[in-house]
Structure 1
């Protein structure tokens, strides 16, 4: 208990929610040792508020962007863009390894300390469930940034990331195998499922985990683990609670907004202001769309001379970690993996009916109906690329699928990320390696 109190005194800046009307309307109120439900809620709010924008940085490494070589902040991103991970420019932004462990620290305060202080109640259980779910999300992101891509035959020996599950000043942080990290993620998801009792969060506090958000995270985790049936089951459980899709024919709006009827968990900004200023959509990304029939194109992109700026992201109202569209695309992919091609086709058609003009959908309906399994797989993954453009999902999707070759041009020189390149795993930031020789 002495160690816990010392850590809390040093690091826990309590955050109080002052209004549910505005998204993330929170204010710091000082430093406390949490004792009450309200104070522990302040700790988890701080954890949510501290969740980093690392996924936006991964977009720089993908085939989604090209860099403005005359941009003011070019030194922050250029070495990420050309995958120069060893000895990058001193100004290069590091991937937010420490920030994710900071979030984990806050969740550990709740998981390890709150059960002994708080009386059993639905509110206390919901709080504990959110802490377990948020810790699971943080470890999932960490292992997909700094651990090798999941491979069922080698995950037991592939290097992952350290696990910190207790508040211990003397703990030695040694990277665990990828399999061990994923097992911890699954354990936390199971514990979260025992406690979370809110089916879906109301607008304004939908950055918090709920049952539908938990099922969405489970579906994503099992998809990456190639456990197709479990991923499909979790997606179906989420869709039972929330299944709305925005029909862009009737309502041409960005579905990434926190108040969209598709929103499930509005936590992360997938494309930050800095990226919006320095990058354009790549020809590969623009070429993925049929501009005349895909209703997402004019919503996602705006012409800037001969190039296109990305309109997503850059505002708190576009924070988006999970939305219903992902559930449909995961359901289609996993159904196909389970050799249920009829369900895969019906699911993807239900989704794209809301994303294309009537004429475009009619043609695609005919095309999809005639597809074999290989062509349908290509189409579903292409829909993921189109739907989640500049939302921070592309890098993780490339890691778990093709690990394709990517070529970026900078100052008249081509730089290549080879297929299955070791740089599909990001090395630990220099500061982290300096502070922890075990990395």
Structure 2
């Protein structure tokens, strides 16, 4: 078994094992303890800082949250390369298009390999059964998270058409090396596996909670419930969304009150104000700086205008940099950029700008209550939704905030629109939420205007309603290696 495991370590070359695995010879290493496997979990299954942007913001360029800009000369090459994604070009990941980029596909599957490795061998390691349970739980939840990301990159939205027929992504649930050319599983099969992994992992982490880490970069069982509320939102399972959100907020209801921030730069992912964090995802220092080819769209910026807020209030998410994103309006002529206000963690050891936090859980629950209200006309659900939205907003708006009431809305649809605007304001440039939300909210039409850097010429690109490009194209290199992975058009293989 251990010789086989060594070969798997070589296949998982991203795992750093030299400092904790007992070396028996130049051809064999022998992991033997739970501590050994925990270090493999940390280095081979958890997100690396190199993939932080992929976990957080890489899909933002596809959304209505961005606009094209004239950029400084040093960013021209980046702008031209990312133009392929900005216009939703089917060659965006290919050599003859936007570049031979397979990271959207490859990176999550690499981490899934790490999860599978831990799950397959952890029970054979010597050490605490409680610790084993928690490590297994973390691995299951991580695997569920990665498959959730993959199926929202490359699969049809769950609530569009028939998920038992629509194509998702291949499910690989063991470490075996094989020449098999995997085919896509259905979207329904993917979501069934995601739910099973999240439910199993959450249960195991809860059972083994005495062995959980205090590091905010490591998962604990409330994170599993939060992810389950997110996934069930995509599946229109409103009662389940509410149940899982209740489980989180019953034990961790805290939110960061921005108006009481003691520092101009304090934010939700700052180690000085961590009260609403459930889990943080690290990223590279350079990924936290300027994203010059695009800046926030006027449509997004307009959402922070006070048209749906009581008169005289300010939204501190845009007025100051007290939040997760620092939006910079043009200050150098036509030049503009986005600065992500990431913060170093404990002792300044890492950078974070994404993860899972209670604000999302409040929004998940509020939307589920409103959806139920629309279906059943039970006004109690509407009041419960508004309670959640008011709780979030009184922690985001300036002093003098007055709660919204049902009298502020003429019907249930207006309340839902208000909730979705709040979600967009709160979660933009974080967790790929906007792109994934656009997919589940009916795949609306989006227009992007590309601004030529040389002459300012504007070119319009349109993503039509229900456009097949709401499903990202599998990179050409991946398709060449496995022709069984066919593309998708509106839920049908071609």
Same fold, judged at TM 0.5 (above): yes
Q: Aligned partners of 1:91, 1:314: CA distance in 2, in Å?
A: 28
Equivalences for 1:5-404 in 2 at 5 Å? 5-15=6-16, 32-46=29-43, 47-50=45-48, 52=51, 53-54=53-54, 55-70=56-71, 71-72=75-76, 73-86=78-91, 89-91=97-99, 93-119=101-127, 121-151=129-159, 153-170=161-178, 171-196=180-205, 197-198=208-209, 205-251=215-261, 253-257=266-270, 260-267=274-281, 269=283, 272-273=287-288, 276-290=291-305, 293-297=314-318, 298-299=320-321, 300-305=326-331, 309-313=337-341, 316-339=350-373, 340-359=381-400, 361-362=401-402, 365-366=404-405, 369-391=408-430, 392-404=432-444
CA contact (8 A) 1:301 1:308 kept: no
Match of 1:24 in 2: none
Query: Unaligned 5+ residue runs, structure 2?
Result: 24-28, 307-312, 344-349, 374-380, 453-457, 486-494
Q: Give the CA deviation at 1:116.
A: 2.7
1:247 offset after TM fit, Å? 1.0
Structure 1 residue 14: Cα displacement = 4.3
The farther-off stretch of 317-326 and 414-423 is: 317-326
Deviation at 1:176, TM superposition (A): 0.3
- Structure 2 match to 1:436: 482
How many pairs does the alignment contain?
426
Matches within 5 A, 1:405-424: 405-410=445-450, 411=452, 412-424=458-470
How far apart, in 2, do the equivalents of 1:185 and 1:345 lie?
30
47-56 or 159-168, which deviates more: 47-56
Are the aligned partners of 1:147 and 1:178 in contact in 2 as well (CA < 8 Å)? Answer: yes
Q: Which residue of 1 aligns with 2:492?
A: none
* Offset of residue 199 of structure 1: 8.2
Whole-angstrom CA distance in 2 between matches of 1:117 and 1:74: 49
Deviations 1:386-425 (A, max 9, x none): 0011112100011111312111111311001111111111
Structure 1 residue runs without a partner (length 5+)? 17-26
Q: Provide the C-alpha distance between the structure 1 equivalents of 2:200 and 2:148, rounded to a whole number of angstroms.
A: 15
Distance 2:211 2:65 in 1: 32
How far has the Cα of 1:312 moved from its partner? 2.4
SS of residue in 2 equivalent to 1:264: strand
Q: Is the 8 A contact 1:75 1:89 kept in 2?
A: no
Q: Is the 8 A contact 1:79 1:92 kept in 2?
A: no
* Contact kept? 1:65, 1:281, Cα under 8 Å: yes
Going from structure 1 to structure 2, the CA distance change for 1:44 and 1:12 (only over 3 Å counts) comes to farther
Q: Partner of 2:67: helix, strand, or coil?
A: strand
CA–CA distance in 1 between the matches of 2:211 and 2:411? 37
Alignment check: 8 A CA contact 2:115 2:142 kept: yes
Whose Rg is larger? 2
Calculate the TM-score normalised by the size of structure 1. Answer: 0.89
Distance (Å, rounded) in 2 between the aligned partners of 1:183 and 1:158 = 14
Q: Give the conservation status (yes or no) of the 8 Å contact 2:168–2:186.
A: yes
* Native 8 Å contact 1:78 1:92 kept in 2: no
Between the aligned partners of 1:201 and 1:128, the Cα distance in structure 2 is 12
